[in-house]
Structure 1
Amino acid sequence: MLCRKQLGLLALGFAFLHVLYTLIIPIRYYVRFRIGASTISQIKENKTNEFDNTSAWRSDSYYSVGILGFAVYLLLGITSLPSVSNALSWREFSFVQSKLGYLTVFLCTLHTYLYGWNRFLKSYAYKWYTPPGYMLSLVLPSVVLVLKLLLMLPCVDRTLTRIRQGWERTDPEDDSKKSLLT
């Protein structure tokens, strides 16, 4: 449990660095230079770009889901602190760590899917015939979410709930022998 908590806090630190870098990107010289150069070239050629609603929705959704995922991730990080986790009951702590944990995985995975959007269809994304890094980073959380959905199926969930409550499977033949002997 302690190793898992430390890995989660380390991942939260990397998520924080990701947020900081994303906020710094627009003020970098290279980005401002490219924006200025494209604006000047459009003025010289007397062209304008049309507003693309799809790109606007994609980028807004990408940022908003990322912000929501980071906020829930911060909540998970705060509840894993010893002073906070000691103040919570076991039910509250398990709710936050399990349900909100899966919500965080879902939001952060959706954030990466929105980043990729239709880039996986373009051939220039596959340098040296290997998939881009964002596609490789989607494998593990996607598998986790699919397996969680399978565990949430009613036929599986009912059995798991009964096992957690102490139910044990008994063999019908053993029951019939016991009833004959008593």
Structure 2
Amino acid sequence: MKSPAKTALTSKEPAPSVEKCKITLKVNGVLQRIEVAPWTTLLDVLRDRLNLTGTKKGCDHGQCGACTVLVNGERIVSCLTLAVMQDGAEVTTIEGLAAGEDLHPLQAAFIEHDAFQCGYCTPGQICSAAGLINEGRAKSPGDIRELMSGNLCRCGAYQNIVAAVQQVMRTKDNDNRGER
């Protein structure tokens, strides 16, 4: 008698088809309707289906932060997030932070403070910093370092990254004081 495993391996029947899921995402302000396999990550949708390659695939295990994007204003690692879980969500990638030709303040601050060297981690660092500022929890350089600790920089530009984030936080605080 054949073992079930051998039967499955030698069977000539076609593999069962997987039903695709239809999802809708608002990515960088544009509504996207996409069919995806249930196991497709948000990172793969962004890079492979929508050609938004600014979001980087680093470790693919959620440990480096290179794939960080904003979902409904909160930072997430897109390599660990299934696209179907984000159906109906608003996703902002590094490409969506700038307003046309005008850089986002964090992008400008990263340039001003030389907060990158090779640049591979930079999109994730900037998206994470944008989420960090939205959260409003960072009050000191130590808070910034701690709350950005999920974003790794192989080149070691951490001091300059913290300086860039601090600059934008100070500017935002000053703008908020002026509105009162």
Relative to the length of structure 1, the TM-score reads 0.26
- Structure 1 or 2: more helix by fraction: 1
- Structure 1 or 2: more strand by fraction: 2
- Bigger CA radius of gyration: 1
